[in-house]
């Protein structure tokens, strides 16, 4: 601004071309057409936290499947003579950490040497001599499975329920909302516990219990969005042009509601993982010998002073997953929220 | 407004009746025998014990007995956990400690959360922002039982700042459990306030206030903070739920005579009347919170018209 | 910049979690060293401290303090310390006369016992009379009371108890009578050799009729609505709370033996918390459950006890009306011998438990020459993987099967879950073609599944209610309420019956019959597969002396306990 322009430099002739006004060009959109997803991707790429989380989460997922395979031990295989060994990783052990040294009777000893163990357990072993490395990744797999399936079911029911309720409105909406009100009135904790007790304990029971009231949150959000958009002009226009309900829902409402649905799902997944961990604490978790991050943490936390590795690895992994999901969720919210568009 | 509240109250009663019905029948498909030494009795003897607690009556009779009692505030008697004790008395006697740590946890959580959120928003993208974001995320990333036992180990056993556990030293006993419960509200409030305030700070009226020469603190408190605070009310519901859930874990770890730890026990021993009573109690709590949030929201933010207001 | 923020954040989380977890690591070492100097105090036991206060923990609330309807360990434990029956277990766990003045007079046929009562008072100063016994016994068996332990303890023992408990006879017909204020006459249905140890059990404690009637429904609802006649009185118990106290009872007839003035009890359900409370010095004793037994295994303050509780696998031979593979005796034997019990006890449980190759526990019952019942039968169904494989192959062939899938129903405690996971692994490794599915449920649910006989294999445990092998052996007679697995062996039933009836007065022959029955049950039929006899490790401060642990009835006696060397 402070720079003064003394004189306009002379421009070579031929730099300019005279154009005539063309009515056809007036409405031309110069910016390339960007689809919903492209736009979202473009913006999430700018959010380094979310991007990093996506990569991190991708790695965790890969390890969840690869971990149990690359470990020489099956997640449930017991070698009772190798019980409660601390972690030992070949190269890193030279640094004085993860070198198989643990306390026994108040003294620091190399437990591997003492118990004559030739092999290495990267994450150590638990009380039954099971390899924690393969158990932790298997547990991650199970936790993620529970969370994803629960979130998917929540999404499905929630979207359909909320969509119908919001779109048709009136009495249908009134009735459907009363039902939701009742369901949200029962603390979900109680519902989950009761359903787990009724069903045969296991992964399926936990998923069903988590979803039995879990979808109400999603349905509320979807209903709110549908209510908001259905009275807007573009829907009215579509209706006037004779579009069917199905077409309006799929072509006009859904794309607008999609962002909210995805964000909501992103936050259901970590809370499902968390709830599963909570269930393990009160003794209603998975059936042994299956493990999830929740049951592993629950097993480990009693041993925190004696064999901290049993708690540390699943706890760190759980924290990482939670952090990743929350950051991805935050990032997606920013990316998909139309208000944030510049 | 009055009409709206009246309508909501009626819905509340209907909701509660349905919840009671639902839990009652659920309870009857629930596995488990409420008689602890059932394996020591002959079928005839077992039948005698069951008759003592009215478990021999036909289901519809039991149901109407129960609903009739419920209307009068009678939740039946405990079969196993506190043999013969009134469930209402059990819940009332356990309410105090739960209410105290729940309230304190909520208070600590929201106040600290709001502060953290504000600092983060006002000093966006500085180390303060990152620290508060970090605290908020850690708060929701560590399972409450791990967090509670770490608190107990360090602040109780090692540094001897607070009692390790038990409900003996009044307020001091409630500090660690309250902090353990505060983590979720803290994280939620911090994130929420941060997002809201950033949005508000970017809005036109703030620009206008700035243009008119309002001071930084005036803008932060008078304009931004107030407006960011309103939506926080909407997450009070989920926070209350988290306090409920958390109380199960925290009360058990700190050996606090609250409802949460008693509820876990009643499930384990299949004491149906206590499970049912506690469920209904929790539901009342939750429904009242939801109602309060709705009413409060309507009072504070005039832009929001309650849906019932039209009629 | 945002990128570095995340790295910073993540590494902090990692460091923090690792730090918090690892820091816990080195710490249990110092609890051991701290205490060595305190240990001196024990040697000078006898110099009692001026403050006689004991701080204890319980793992559950008191469900009731009404001795007639009590059925759980917490209640029986407290009852044993605040009340007293005709007999009491002494420091050697032998039933000695308590409220009874000396041994009772027993009739020739062993069916009538006449007890003389000593002069003793309730805590309100009124005397304990024979009527108090009649009242409480009748109350315990009365169907209107709905007591589970009344019928369980009295049926088949006290005259007419069975008929009364089923409602077909009036409670006044019960075989107990007050001859005068201080004389009690008890009539039995059959001779009961272990009758004295029964008399130490909570269900047979007296209750003051006037007091109970006056309080009505409020009786035993809190510590103010109770009367005591034992070494201590219960105070500060509100009926539903997690805390109570026991204070020395000045009215107790043997009050001069009692050293402790106060016992402060708090309920702590979380094992980690109880250990922390012990380490903080707030509590004087902490039971080490599950992992903590392992963690503190070599701590100097650890006290290990062997309990007479045996855990075993119940093989259900008929599920939902259809015979299971477990109907085959070779399959049962194969499973019973295919898991390493020694490793289980030493590594998985690590709490002082013993591998069990028997049903009647060791160090529990002795014959007249003080010889352990175990010495008669020795070990049965020992771990032998090779033999098990052969039996398994044979069994499968007999049944025409190649693969078997069985459900293993077990408890939901950490210990139970670990044990079941271990059993699954052992069985599946050693027995080819066997798949074991685990199902862990709370105790109350397991009872119901047991009742419906809805399981294949169940891990089950039994602790005695009186001091006789019979408390274990008669569990498995045909039609017993514990034998919900369709096991039936005529010879076994006959032996048990004869031990109960005609051999009751002939200790040697009776002993023989019971030993033979146990052999049939395990060695011949493998109806059940013993796993381990439970041990318990507890941390106990060295200044605590004289807490007696009992094998049955109330778990502990504090009557002889004292504090010396704490100050």
- Nearest Cα to C229, choosing from C136, C150, C298, C163? C136
pLDDT number for residue A271: 83
Highest mean pLDDT among A42-46, A213-217, B90-94: B90-94
Alpha carbons B120 and B225: distance in angstroms, whole number: 12
CATH at residue C118:
3.90.76.10
The 10s digit of each residue's pLDDT in B192-206 is: 888 888 888 888 888
pLDDT number for residue C74: 92
Q: Got the DSSP string for B220-242?
A: IIIIIIHHHHHHHGGGHHHHHHH
Give the burial class of C189: count Cβ atoms within 10 A of its Cβ; 0-12 exposed, 13-18 middle, 19 or more buried.
middle
Name chain A contacts of C412, Cβ cutoff 8 Å.
283
The 10s digit of each residue's pLDDT in B5-39 is: 888 888 888 888 988 898 888 888 877 777 777 77
C479 touches A: beta carbon within 8 Å: no
pLDDT surpassing 70 at residue A116: yes
Residues C196 and C335 reside in one and the same domain = no
Name chain C contacts of B35, Cβ cutoff 8 Å.
148, 447
* CB within 8 Å: B30 and A193: no
Confidence of residue B131 (pLDDT cuts 50, 70, 90): confident
Pair of tokens at residue C294: 């392992």
Pair of tokens at residue C242: 């997690």
Pair of tokens at residue B112: 């600290």
A301 touches C: beta carbon within 8 Å: yes
pLDDT number for residue A119: 81
* Subunits close to C (at least 3 CB pairs below 8 A): A, B
Alpha carbons C409 and C442: distance in angstroms, whole number: 10
pLDDT surpassing 80 at residue A304: no
* CB within 8 Å: A187 and B137: no
Least confident window among A162-166, A298-302, B284-288: A298-302
* CB within 8 Å: C151 and B41: yes
Q: Which residue of B has its CA nearest to C167?
A: B48
A106 touches B: beta carbon within 8 Å: no
B141 touches C: beta carbon within 8 Å: yes
* CB within 8 Å: C271 and A302: yes
pLDDT number for residue A30: 67
pLDDT number for residue C32: 37
* CB within 8 Å: B286 and A186: yes
Q: What is the pLDDT along chain C (567 residues), one digit of tens a residue?
A: 334 444 444 445 555 554 444 444 444 433 333 333 433 334 445 688 899 999 999 989 999 999 998 988 899 999 999 999 999 999 988 899 999 999 999 999 989 999 999 999 999 999 999 999 999 999 999 988 888 889 889 988 999 999 998 888 999 999 999 999 999 999 999 999 889 989 999 999 999 999 999 998 899 989 999 999 999 999 999 998 999 999 999 999 999 999 999 999 999 998 889 999 999 999 999 998 877 887 787 788 999 999 999 999 999 999 988 889 999 999 999 999 999 999 999 888 888 899 999 999 999 998 888 889 999 888 999 999 999 999 999 999 999 999 999 999 998 888 888 899 999 999 999 999 999 999 888 888 888 888 889 999 999 999 998 889 999 998 999 988 888 899 999 999 999 999 988 888 888 999 999 999 999 999 999 999 999 999 999 999 999 999 999 988 889 999 999 999 887
Shortest CA gap B210–chain C (Å) = 28
pLDDT surpassing 50 at residue B112: yes
B11 touches A: beta carbon within 8 Å: yes
pLDDT number for residue A274: 83
Query: Which strand (E) or helix (H) includes residue C544?
Result: strand C544-545
C449 touches A: beta carbon within 8 Å: no
Residues C471 and C326 reside in one and the same domain = yes
* CB within 8 Å: B146 and A297: yes
Last residue of a domain, one of C200, C223, C246: C223
Is residue C388 situated within a structural domain?
yes
The 10s digit of each residue's pLDDT in A37-64 is: 777 788 777 778 888 889 999 999 999 9
Classify each residue of B180-209 as buried b or exposed e, where b means 16 or more C-beta atoms within 10 Å of its C-beta: bbbbbbbbbbbbbbbbbbbbbbeeeebeeb
Alpha helices in C51-208 (DSSP H): 73-82, 130-141, 149-154, 161-165, 195-198
Alpha helices in C431-542 (DSSP H): 443-451, 470-473, 490-500, 507-519
Q: Which residue of C has its CA nearest to B125?
A: C2
Shortest CA gap C555–chain A (Å) = 26
Mean pLDDT of B55-59: 84
C441 touches A: beta carbon within 8 Å: yes
Last residue of a domain, one of C223, C238, C270: C223
- Nearest Cα to A155, choosing from A216, A246, A207, A229? A216
The 10s digit of each residue's pLDDT in C506-527 is: 889 999 999 999 999 999 999 9
Residues C83 and C191 reside in one and the same domain = yes
Mutation target for A interface from C291, C295, C345, C436: give the one with most A CBs within 10 A.
Answer: C291
Is residue C8 situated within a structural domain?
no
pLDDT number for residue C16: 53
Residues C214 and C315 reside in one and the same domain = no
B290 touches C: beta carbon within 8 Å: no
Prediction ipTM score: 0.89
Shortest CA gap C443–chain A (Å) = 12
Name chain B contacts of A190, Cβ cutoff 8 Å.
23, 278-279, 282-283
For chain A, the average pLDDT equals: 82
What CA–CA distances, in Å, run from A188 to B240, B269, C150?
Answer: 12, 21, 40
* CB within 8 Å: C422 and A78: yes
Cis check for the bond before C258: say yes or no (omega within 30 of 0).
no
A199 touches B: beta carbon within 8 Å: no
Nearest to A323 among C13, C28, C343 (CB): C13
Q: Which residue of B has its CA nearest to A282?
A: B264
* CB within 8 Å: B245 and A278: yes
Residues C438 and C345 reside in one and the same domain = yes
pLDDT surpassing 80 at residue A337: no
Name chain C contacts of B142, Cβ cutoff 8 Å.
17
* CB within 8 Å: B81 and C8: no
Mean pLDDT of A141-150: 93
Confidence of residue A339 (pLDDT cuts 50, 70, 90): low
pLDDT number for residue C7: 44
Residues C216 and C356 reside in one and the same domain = no
The 10s digit of each residue's pLDDT in B204-235 is: 888 888 888 888 777 777 777 777 777 788 78
B293 touches A: beta carbon within 8 Å: no
DSSP state of A125: B
Confidence of residue A104 (pLDDT cuts 50, 70, 90): low
- Nearest Cα to A131, choosing from A64, A185, A68? A68
In this structure, the dihedral spanned by the alpha carbons of residues A301, A304, A307 and A313, taken in order and rounded to 10 degrees, is 60
Nearest to B141 among A278, A304, A322 (CB): A322
The 10s digit of each residue's pLDDT in C236-274 is: 999 989 999 999 999 999 999 999 999 999 999 988 899
Pair of tokens at residue B18: 């349905």
Mutation target for B interface from C151, C243, C264: give the one with most B CBs within 10 A.
Answer: C151
B7 or A201, which is more confident: B7
Name chain A contacts of B282, Cβ cutoff 8 Å.
186-187, 189-190
Alpha carbons A43 and A71: distance in angstroms, whole number: 38
CATH at residue C351:
3.10.105.10
Coil/strand/helix, residue C184: strand
Residue labelled with tokens 């070579």: A12
Contact yes or no for C134/C149 (Cβ under 8 A) = no
Q: Residue A16, Cβ neighbours under 10 Å: how many?
A: 8
Nearest to C348 among A49, A128, A197 (CB): A128
Q: How many CA atoms lie within 13 A of A77 on its CB side?
A: 9
* CB within 8 Å: A278 and B140: no
pLDDT number for residue A246: 83
Shortest CA gap A282–chain C (Å) = 10
Mean pLDDT of A315-330: 85
pLDDT surpassing 80 at residue A340: no
Residues C340 and C210 reside in one and the same domain = no
The 10s digit of each residue's pLDDT in A237-294 is: 888 888 888 888 887 888 788 888 887 888 788 888 888 888 888 878 788 788 898 8
- Return residues 80-109 of A near C (CB < 8 Å): 80-81, 83-84, 103, 105-107
Is residue C389 situated within a structural domain?
yes
Shortest CA gap B108–chain A (Å) = 22
* CB within 8 Å: B166 and C282: yes
- Return residues 388-417 of C near A (CB < 8 Å): 412-414, 417
Nearest to B40 among C272, C273, C481 (CB): C481
Name chain B contacts of A282, Cβ cutoff 8 Å.
248-249, 264, 267
Residues C502 and C392 reside in one and the same domain = yes
Confidence of residue B302 (pLDDT cuts 50, 70, 90): low
- Return residues 157-196 of A near C (CB < 8 Å): none
Is residue C31 situated within a structural domain?
no
Nearest to A185 among B26, B264, B286 (CB): B286
Coil/strand/helix, residue C112: strand
A63 touches B: beta carbon within 8 Å: no
Mutation target for B interface from C34, C65, C146: give the one with most B CBs within 10 A.
Answer: C146
Q: Which residue of B has its CA nearest to A293?
A: B143
Confidence of residue B310 (pLDDT cuts 50, 70, 90): very low
Q: Residue C139, Cβ neighbours under 10 Å: how many?
A: 20
* CB within 8 Å: B80 and C16: no
Is residue C258 situated within a structural domain?
no
pLDDT number for residue C403: 92
Q: How many CA atoms lie within 13 A of C156 on its CB side?
A: 11
Shortest CA gap A106–chain C (Å) = 4
> What is the residue range of C515's domain?
307-535
Is residue C212 situated within a structural domain?
yes
Residues C193 and C315 reside in one and the same domain = no
A303 or B255, which is more confident: B255
DSSP state of C64: -
Report CA B141 to chain centroid distance, whole Å.
19
Residue B207, C-beta contacts closer than 8 angstroms, at least 6 positions apart: none
Mean pLDDT of B51-69: 86
Residues C379 and C481 reside in one and the same domain = yes
Is residue C433 situated within a structural domain?
yes
pLDDT surpassing 90 at residue A209: no
Alpha carbons B231 and B196: distance in angstroms, whole number: 8
Q: Domain total for chain C?
A: 2
Q: Which residue of B has its CA nearest to C17?
A: B142
pLDDT surpassing 70 at residue B309: no
Is residue C290 situated within a structural domain?
no
Contact yes or no for B117/B190 (Cβ under 8 A) = yes
pLDDT number for residue A42: 80
pLDDT surpassing 70 at residue A299: yes
């Amino acid at each position: 601004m402070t720079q003064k322009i003394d004189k306009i430099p002379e421009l070579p002739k031929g730099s300019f071309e005279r154009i005539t006004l063309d009515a056809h060009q007036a409405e031309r959109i110069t910016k390339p057409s960007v689809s919903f997803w492209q736009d979202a991707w473009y913006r999430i790429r700018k959010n380094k936290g979310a991007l990093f989380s996506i990569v991190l989460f991708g790695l965790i997922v890969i390890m969840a499947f690869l971990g149990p395979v690359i470990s020489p031990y099956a997640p449930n295989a017991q070698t009772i003579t190798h019980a409660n060994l601390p972690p030992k990783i070949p190269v890193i052990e030279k640094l004085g950490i993860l070198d198989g040294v643990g306390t026994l009777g108040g003294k620091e000893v190399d437990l591997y040497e003492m118990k004559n163990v030739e092999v290495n357990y990267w994450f150590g072993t638990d009380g039954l001599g099971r390899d924690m490395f393969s158990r932790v990744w298997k547990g991650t797999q199970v936790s993620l499975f529970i969370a994803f399936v629960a979130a998917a079911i929540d999404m499905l029911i929630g979207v359909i329920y909320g969509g119908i309720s919001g779109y048709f409105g009136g009495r249908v909406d009134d009735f459907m909302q009363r039902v939701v009100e009742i369901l949200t009135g029962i603390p979900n904790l109680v519902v989950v516990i009761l359903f787990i007790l009724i069903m045969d304990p296991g992964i399926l029971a936990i998923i069903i219990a988590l979803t039995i009231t879990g979808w109400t949150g999603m349905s509320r959000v979807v209903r709110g969005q549908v209510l908001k958009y259905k009275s807007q002009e573009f829907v009215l226009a579509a209706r006037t042009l004779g579009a069917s309900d199905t077409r309006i829902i799929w072509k006009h409402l859904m794309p607008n509601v999609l962002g909210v649905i995805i964000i909501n799902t992103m936050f259901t997944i970590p809370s499902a993982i968390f709830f599963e961990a909570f269930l393990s604490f009160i003794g209603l978790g998975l059936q042994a010998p299956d493990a999830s991050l929740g049951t592993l943490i629950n097993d480990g936390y009693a041993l925190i002073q004696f064999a901290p590795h049993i708690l540390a690895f699943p706890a760190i992994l759980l924290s990482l997953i939670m952090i990743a999901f929350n950051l991805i969720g935050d990032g997606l919210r920013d990316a998909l929220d139309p208000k944030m568009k510049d | 407004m009055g009409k709206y509240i009246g309508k909501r109250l009626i819905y509340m009663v209907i909701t509660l009746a349905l919840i009671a019905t639902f839990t009652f029948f659920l309870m009857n498909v629930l596995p488990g025998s409420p008689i602890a030494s059932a394996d020591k009795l002959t079928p005839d003897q077992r039948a005698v014990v069951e008759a003592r607690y009215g478990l021999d009556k036909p289901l519809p009779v039991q149901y109407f007995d129960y609903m009739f009692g419920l209307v009068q505030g009678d939740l039946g008697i405990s079969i196993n956990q506190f043999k013969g004790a009134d469930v209402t008395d059990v819940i009332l006697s356990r309410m105090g400690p739960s209410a105290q740590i729940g309230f304190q946890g909520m208070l600590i959580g929201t106040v600290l959360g709001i502060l953290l959120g504000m600092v983060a928003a006002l000093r966006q993208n500085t180390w303060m922002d990152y620290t508060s974001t970090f605290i908020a995320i850690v708060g929701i990333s560590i399972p409450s039982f791990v967090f509670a036992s770490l608190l107990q180990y360090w602040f109780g056993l090692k540094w001897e700042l607070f009692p390790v556990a038990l409900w003996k030293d009044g307020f001091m006993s409630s500090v660690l459990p309250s902090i353990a419960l505060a983590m979720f509200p803290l994280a939620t409030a911090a994130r929420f306030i941060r997002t809201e305030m950033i949005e508000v700070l970017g809005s036109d009226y703030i620009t206008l206030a700035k243009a008119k020469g309002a001071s930084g603190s005036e803008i932060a408190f008078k304009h931004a903070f107030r407006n960011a605070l309103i939506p926080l009310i909407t997450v009070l519901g989920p926070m209350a739920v988290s306090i409920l859930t958390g109380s199960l874990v925290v009360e058990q770890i700190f050996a606090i005579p609250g409802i949460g730890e008693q509820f876990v026990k009643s499930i384990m021993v299949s004491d149906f009347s206590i499970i049912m009573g506690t469920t209904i109690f929790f539901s009342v709590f939750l429904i009242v919170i939801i109602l309060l949030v709705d009413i409060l929201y309507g009072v504070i933010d005039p832009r929001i018209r309650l849906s019932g207001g039209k009629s | 910049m945002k990128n570095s923020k995340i790295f910073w954040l993540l590494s902090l989380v990692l460091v923090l979690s690792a730090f918090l977890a690892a820091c816990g690591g080195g710490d249990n070492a110092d609890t051991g060293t701290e205490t060595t100097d305190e240990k001196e105090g024990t040697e000078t036991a006898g110099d009692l401290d001026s403050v006689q206060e004991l701080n204890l923990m319980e793992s559950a609330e008191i469900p009731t303090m009404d001795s007639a309807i009590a059925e759980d360990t917490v209640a029986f434990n407290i009852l044993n310390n605040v009340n007293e029956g005709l007999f009491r277990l002494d420091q050697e766990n032998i039933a000695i006369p308590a409220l009874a003045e000396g041994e009772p007079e027993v009739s020739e046929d062993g069916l009538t016992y006449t007890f003389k009562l000593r002069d003793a008072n309730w805590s309100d100063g009124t005397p304990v009379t024979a009527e108090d016994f009649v009242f409480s016994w009748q109350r315990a068996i009365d169907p209107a009371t709905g007591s589970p332990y009344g019928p369980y303890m009295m049926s088949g023992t006290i005259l007419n108890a069975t008929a009364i408990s089923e409602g077909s006879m009036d409670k006044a017909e019960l075989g107990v009578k007050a001859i005068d204020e201080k004389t009690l006459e008890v009539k039995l249905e059959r001779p009961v050799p272990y009758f004295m140890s029964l008399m130490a059990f909570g269900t047979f404690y007296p209750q003051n009729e006037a007091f109970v009637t006056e309080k009505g429904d409020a009786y035993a609802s809190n510590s103010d609505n109770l009367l005591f006649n034992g070494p201590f009185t219960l105070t500060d118990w509100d009926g539903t709370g997690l805390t109570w106290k026991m204070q020395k009872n000045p009215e107790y007839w043997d009050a001069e033996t009692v050293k402790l003035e106060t016992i402060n009890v708090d309920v702590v359900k979380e094992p980690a918390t109880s250990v922390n409370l012990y380490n903080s010095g707030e509590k004087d004793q902490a039971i080490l459950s599950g992992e903590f037994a392992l963690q503190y295994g070599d701590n100097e303050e650890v006290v290990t006890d062997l309990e007479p509780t045996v855990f075993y696998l119940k093989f259900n031979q008929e599920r939902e009306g259809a015979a299971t593979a477990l109907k085959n005796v070779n399959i049962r034997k194969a499973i019973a011998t295919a898991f390493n019990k020694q490793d289980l006890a030493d590594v998985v449980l690590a709490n002082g438990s013993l591998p069990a190759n028997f049903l009647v526990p060791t160090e529990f019952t002795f014959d007249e020459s003080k010889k352990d019942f175990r010495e008669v039968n020795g070990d049965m169904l020992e771990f032998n993987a090779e033999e098990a494989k052969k039996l398994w192959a044979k069994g499968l062939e007999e049944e025409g099967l190649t693969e078997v899938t069985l459900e293993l129903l077990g408890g939901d405690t950490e210990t139970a879950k670990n044990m079941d996971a271990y059993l699954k692994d052992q069985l599946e490794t050693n027995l080819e073609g066997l798949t074991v599915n685990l199902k862990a449920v709370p105790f109350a649910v397991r009872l119901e599944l047991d009742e419906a006989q809805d399981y294949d294999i169940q891990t089950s445990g039994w602790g005695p209610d009186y001091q006789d092998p019979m408390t274990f052996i008669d569990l498995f007679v045909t039609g017993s309420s514990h034998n919900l697995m369709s096991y039936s062996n005529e010879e076994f039933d006959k032996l048990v019956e004869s031990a109960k009836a005609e051999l009751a007065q002939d200790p040697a022959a009776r002993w023989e019959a019971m030993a033979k029955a146990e052999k049939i049950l395990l060695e011949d039929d493998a109806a059940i597969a013993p796993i381990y006899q439970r041990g318990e490790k507890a941390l106990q401060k060295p200044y605590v002396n004289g807490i007696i642990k009992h094998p049955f009835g109330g778990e502990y006696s504090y009557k002889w306990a004292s504090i010396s060397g704490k100050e």
